[in-house]
Structure 1
Amino acid sequence: MPNASAAIRVGASAESANGLPSTIIESLDRLEEVGTDTVELPLLWMELVIDGRVMPARLEELRRAISGRPFAYSAHAAIGINFMCDPVYLALHQNLARAHLTIAAELGCEHMVMHTGFCAPGLAKPQIERLRAQECETLLKLGEEAQAAGVILCVENIFAEKGNRLTASASELAAELRELDHSHLRACLDISHAALHCDSVGLDLMEEVAPLIPLAKHVHVHDSFGRTNNIPVHTQQEALGLGVGDLHLPVGWGNLPFDDIVTLGEFPRDTIFNIELNKHRWHALDETVRETRRLASRARVR
């Protein structure tokens, strides 16, 4: 059963089959059956925005699909949004982020998750610094809009995928958010992403994660082996067999030190531990919810 009063709530990301918002109904039924406290709406997988503009009919379709449920909601914005992009394309990224923020606010979502920025690894240091400044300026503006809309933006750490992108580590993201110091700019700690990034660039996972925990109003929970995928694979099953990449496995299938991490620092009260299972692993949803509730009960909260 949902536990809205828990210091740390347990949620899960819904699934959308083909972009139409109504296709999440089946996954909402399943999540209601297992009793998650919250649901993360996958705006990134849905046909809701066209050329930076919200599609009203699609928004109403999603509103109908989620109404009458026992959940609190969060939302995940498009993965492709990148405020460290070439300045020529910045307005396009900003427009999509604002459209998703509008949707999140319209649907009463507490949090909207967005990935942190990235750029090509071969850029000169002054170029990288300019793009980081561009990202910070945009985040501050969006944070103001989020505050007015009643939504907390949770910036998620990503990883240097196959060495072809430069992005902030978990500790660098923590430092950036502290510098921005905005009440509606917080973190989404993705533990598997942090492990993959540490493997890719040679950092210590616990040292990287610790500074982000006090800022993490949202945590993405899914397992992996923290092993960068530099091996060509053709299917999810091959990646699973090799144990490489961002596998989005049930907790306990991989080797990430969840028990150590949830007691490493103090999470904010009302943090959401949100399960992000690969769609091929939903058969293990029940066990993953149970294990995530166990982790939430062990987590330190300030």
Structure 2
Amino acid sequence: MDQTALAKSVRGIGYSLRTSDPDFNDLAAKLDEAEALNVDFVELPIFAWTLIANGRVLQDRLDRLVRLTRGRPFGYTVHGPLAINLMEMPSRLPAHVALLDASIKVAGALEAAHLVIHTGCVRDSDETFAVAYSRQRDALQQAGDAAGRAGITLCVENVFRFNAMRETATPSRLAGEIDAIAHPCVRATLDVSHAYLRCADAKIDPLAEIAALAPYARHVHVHDSFGRPLESWTLDQAEQLGLGEGDLHLPLGWGSIPWDELAGTLNVEPGAILNLELHPRYWTELPDQVARLRALSGQVVAKELSRVA
């Protein structure tokens, strides 16, 4: 494949680690597993590790994490804290900006290609939703500058409404926000299953919404579901699976998302990374899922190459 073709293809595939030790004592074994699976990237869950306190990076812990991640044959992406909310009320926003700034420093030290954060949400009363979106755009502009200095791309992920959220962006609204920000280091993470859940809630067409966000997506989160928001009370995740409700993070093919159809039409940014986000309870499926993701990425590559042939 020549360099022109490579520039138009998917950059690589990877998967999100599901580590249980907050001090990352199990990380070496997890990275050994990733190396054996021959993936291109590993997504590090810094939201689950003891690395940041009150917006301050715990440098000794970061230094140890950097040492643990060096010398591997794959690159890294980072999933930042899920709690970051750049649409927060003004009195609470500075803490969230500080947490994002610290996350950028961590991702930069790890030489990650991408830092994933969730798009913001409105939970409390606000002047208007438009004011909250404006706060997020301003914060992302500044964060994009910091990400550029750190050598990373900030990839803002579409989510769905949960825990009494009043508002969070649909995929097409997030596309419009990224377009308005127009910063080279602020792009999107397209989470396909999240898109189905948000669109079911809003009663809008998920395929059209995914198509709207995809051109801004430099990162894609891949996991299956039935595209139905969680409405029932459940005690265990197995019950959610039995009902087919919620953000299940299933192996590809277990849910109802038409992956082959999507892959043939998905117009993501050239050089995008496809990342599998598998629930820990399905970890025995990982080898087969990595192979399936590799095949799926090949369909996206073929589409990209045929488009420029």
**TM-score tier after normalising by the smaller chain length:** over 0.9
**Bigger mean CA offset, 21-30 vs 68-77:** 21-30
Question: How has the CA–CA distance of structure 1 residues 12 and 268 changed in structure 2, closer, same or farther, with 3 Å as cutoff?
Answer: same
Cα deviation code 1:57-97 (max 9, x no counterpart): 11022112211111111101000000111111111000110
Within 2, Cα distance between the matches of 1:13 and 1:286? 13
So what's the TM-score if we normalise by structure 1? 0.94
Within 1, Cα distance between the matches of 2:120 and 2:201? 17
Partner residue, 2:296: 295
Matched, 1:57 2:65: no
Partner residue, 1:191: 192
Partner residue, 1:237: 238
**Bigger mean CA offset, 191-200 vs 8-17:** 8-17
Displacement of 1:200 in angstroms is 1.1
Q: Give 1:25's match in structure 2, choosing from 28, 38, 43.
A: 28
Matched, 1:82 2:85: yes
SS at match of 1:161: coil
SS at match of 1:74: strand
Task: List alignment gaps of at least 5 residues for structure 2.
Answer: 1-5
Q: How many residues align?
A: 296
SS at match of 1:88: coil
Cα RMSD, aligned residues only: 1.5
Equivalent residues of 2:193, 2:247 under 8 A apart: yes
Matched, 1:268 2:269: yes
Matched, 1:221 2:207: no
Matched, 1:144 2:120: no
Within 2, Cα distance between the matches of 1:251 and 1:29? 23
Within 2, Cα distance between the matches of 1:74 and 1:289? 16
Equivalent residues of 1:22, 1:61 under 8 A apart: no
So what's the TM-score if we normalise by structure 2? 0.92
**Bigger mean CA offset, 58-67 vs 136-145:** 58-67
Task: List alignment gaps of at least 5 residues for structure 1.
Answer: none
Partner residue, 1:252: 253
Which structure 1 residue ranges, 4+ long, deviate > 3 Å from structure 2?
Answer: 162-165
Within 2, Cα distance between the matches of 1:265 and 1:227? 22
Percent of aligned pairs with the same amino acid: 37
Partner residue, 1:201: 202
Displacement of 1:163 in angstroms is 5.5
